Structures are given as structure tokens and as C-alpha cells.
Amino acid sequence: MLAGCSAILPGLNVSLNHDTGPNDYRVVQDSNGQFRAEPVHAGKGLPDYRIQPITAELIVTEAKQRDQAWDARETLPALNPAQPPPEYRVGAGDIVNVTVWDHPELTAPAGTQTQNLAFDGQLVDSDGYMYYPFVGRFHAAGMTAAQLGAYLTDHLKAYIQAPQVAVRVVSYQSDRVEVTGEVVKPGTITLDNTAKGVLQAIDAAGGLTANASRRRAILMRGGKRHVIDLSGLLSGNRVVPNPVLQAGDSIHIPDNSGDEVFLLGAVATQQPVIMRQNQLTLLQALTTAGGLEKARANDSAVFVFRMAATPGTPADVYTLDLSKATSVFLAGHFELEPRDVVYVAATAFARYNDVINQILPTVSTIFQVRALTR
């Protein structure tokens, strides 16, 4: 058994103990070439993992399952650049500029003949009310600029013959969205008369930092957590909607520590590999680690440990014999998932059940700790 969480750090060398105990299992291969796990000592039940050789059929099946999982995800209303945004409705904190043609004393109530639109205007107070000469204090929140202009026109008719009124919002402060995490300028951004999505919010916050995840973003809306496929949005590898933002939304960009794949065992460099916005294959991961270690690696014993996302579901242990030329092509198409552990054994392939029994408990512990800290 491996000792503690330090077992998955770079520099790990698994030392195999071939003495069997009451909880040990072995892997057997049937006449059809399929693997299964069975207890060394009868009556102990089956282990909580399943062996899956990496084959072309497996790669195709997992690709279909991955597509189905994406299709089944809840979709939020998406930003459509070709569709005109809905009319902006005035809210508390906004500053509204009102122009009454041929009446500069109303256009610039302070008495000046020129206007600075950045400062001249009427504030919509925290209760949603606004004051205007001859009209008084009235509730403006919720009105569009056109509706507000029509309201002022109707009430100015008692003082001005055929008033011509134009209204526009010169400072948007009402609808806000919070952006936190690994962005250059975390903080609050305001929504205006132009519809914005998650990508626009990230851009307004200065973009992603070097340590930001390129695979996921978290959108909080109405107390509900939505995971956004940021890798699809950034890479364009699949059609992913850019959720349109609403006032009160919160966007969090996590760091890339949750996007790591661990390369262990008889590889040239034992290290974590960060998955970027594109998918990472087994062959790419091994290449990043410098390939197999020539002196110790058993190229017929390559494992991928993958913990199940659902508690109580067996973990998957994928196996690949890289001594076969065709397996190189399989490794080039087998897609890894974040938190996978790739292990290259330095022992005979016939005994790889020992590797599984030793490393799987530690991988499981790390996965559970990671899930709790999320």
C-alpha cells in the first residue's frame, strides 16, 4: 500500500509487494481477451474498479458518450450577435440625459448653454425615482428611454407647446455582474444597452490570467450553480452557447489545478500536465513527460486511472500495450479527463493487478479530498 498523499508527487516509484492479503485481487484474461478482476481469496467480493482495455471500439463509445453528456447538459439562454438586444430599462443609479429642443433651460437645468453628457443628467435614485423640472419626482425605473421620453412629453405639454423630448442613458450603473477568480481585473462590471455573454464579461475583466482554467467557468444565477464549457467557447471544437448575462449574475474563473493529469511511474519525467482548452490525448501526455523511461519502463503496461464523478460508481482502469504498433494510434486518440492518473509500470504486465491495488486507494483518497474542497 502506498503511504499518504505524497505518493502521487513527482518522483514516485511504486514498489510492488507480491505477497497477497485477504483484500488483494488479481486480473485474469478470458478466452476472448477480456479482463476481469477477481479476489485472490474467495468470499471477499469484487473490487470497486473495472478493467477496460483501450480499443478502437472503446474510443468510439466514449466519444459518443461524451457528446451525449454535453447534449444533456442544461443550456442557458445564449447570446445571439445577429439578434438586436432588448431595449434597456432604466434602473437605480443610472444617469439619464434629457434634451428638450428649443428649451436649453430644461436641457441644461443649471443654466448653461452647453452640455457635457458625461455629467449633465438626472440621477435615478436608489428607490427608482427621478426628478425633472415641471414634472416633479416620478418613478422612472423599469422604463425604456422611449417610454421615459413619452412620459416627459405628456407632462410638459401643460407648460410647453408641442414639446420635443429626446432621452438617453449616459451612465449605466443599475445592472451589475460580478467577475471573480483568475481574471486580470476581478470586480464588478455593469450591463448596458448591448447584450453581453460570459466571454464579454471575461474580456471586460481584463481576460484570463496565466493560471486560469481554460476548460470551465462557474456561473451563479439565482442561487444555482452552472458549469460553463469554457474550453468549447475558446477552442471552437464544438458548438457551445455563450450564455447571455443577467443582472445579479456572478462569474467565477477557477485556477487550472483542477485540470491536471498526473504522469507517474516509469516515464522520463514524472509530473502533472495541465489540460488546456483543447483535449489532451494519452499520447500527448506521455510525450509531454518525455516518453517512457527506457531503462525501466514496461511499455506493455500503461494504465490510466479514472475516478468516477458519481459516488459509489466503480473507478475505471484503462490498460494499453504500447509494445504493439497499432496501440500508438490508439494512444493518439484516447482522450484523457482532468484528474486522470497515467501510470507506466516497470514490472511484468501479468502482475499489473498489484499496481492497481497499490495506487488506486491513494488516487481515490485524493479524488475525494478534491471533491470535498470544491
Mean pLDDT is lowest, of 14-23, 204-213, 270-279, 321-330, for 14-23
Count of C-beta atoms within a 10 Å radius of residue 150: 14
Q: Which three cell numbers stand for residue 24?
A: 488483494
The secondary structure element, H or E, covering residue 167 is: strand 165-171
- Local structure of residue 258 (DSSP, 8 states): G
Mean pLDDT is lowest, of 120-124, 147-151, 316-320, 365-369, for 365-369
Count of C-beta atoms within a 10 Å radius of residue 188: 11
- Local structure of residue 172 (DSSP, 8 states): -
pLDDT of residue 335: 95
pLDDT of residue 2: 33
| Residue 277's pLDDT band (cuts 50, 70, 90) | confident
What are the residue ranges of helices labelled H in 141-281? 145-156, 198-204, 230-235
pLDDT of residue 11: 37
Question: SS3 of 264, please?
Answer: strand
Question: SS3 of 296, please?
Answer: coil
Q: How far is CA 313 from each of CA 155, 307, 310, 316, 364, rounded to the nearest angstrom?
A: 68, 9, 6, 9, 12
| Residue 271's pLDDT band (cuts 50, 70, 90) | very high
Whether the per-residue pLDDT at 25 is higher than 70: the answer is: no
Whether the per-residue pLDDT at 88 is higher than 60: the answer is: yes
The span from the CA of 261 to the CA of 267, in Å, is 14
Contacts of 276 (CB under 8 A, 6+ apart): 214, 215, 231, 259
pTM of the entire predicted model: 0.73
* Inter-residue contact 100 to 164 (CB < 8 Å): yes
pLDDT of residue 24: 54
DSSP per residue over 52-84, as a string? EE--HHHHHHHHHHHHHHHHHS--PPBP-TTSP
Question: SS3 of 116, please?
Answer: coil
The span from the CA of 207 to the CA of 165, in Å, is 40
- Local structure of residue 205 (DSSP, 8 states): T
Between 67 and 114, the more confident residue is 67
Mean pLDDT is lowest, of 27-36, 267-276, 296-305, for 27-36
Between 42 and 165, the more confident residue is 165
The span from the CA of 107 to the CA of 109, in Å, is 6
The span from the CA of 14 to the CA of 298, in Å, is 13
The span from the CA of 165 to the CA of 159, in Å, is 13
The span from the CA of 215 to the CA of 189, in Å, is 22
The span from the CA of 193 to the CA of 168, in Å, is 11
The span from the CA of 255 to the CA of 217, in Å, is 10
Model confidence over 218-233: pLDDT tens digits?
Answer: 999 999 999 999 998 8
pLDDT of residue 353: 58
Terminal Cα distance for the chain, rounded: 27
pLDDT of residue 84: 84
For each of the domains in the chain, give its residue range(s) and CATH number, in order of start.
Answer: 5-73+257-373 (3.10.560.10), 95-171 (3.30.1950.10), 176-254 (3.10.560.10)
Please, which residues bridge with residue 261 across strands? 273
DSSP per residue over 318-350, as a string? EEE-TTSHHHHHHHHH-B--TT-EEEE-SS-GG
Cell 486522470 belongs to: 340
Whether the per-residue pLDDT at 83 is higher than 70: the answer is: yes
Burial of 322 (C-beta count, 10 Å sphere; 0-12/13-18/19+): buried
pLDDT of residue 210: 94
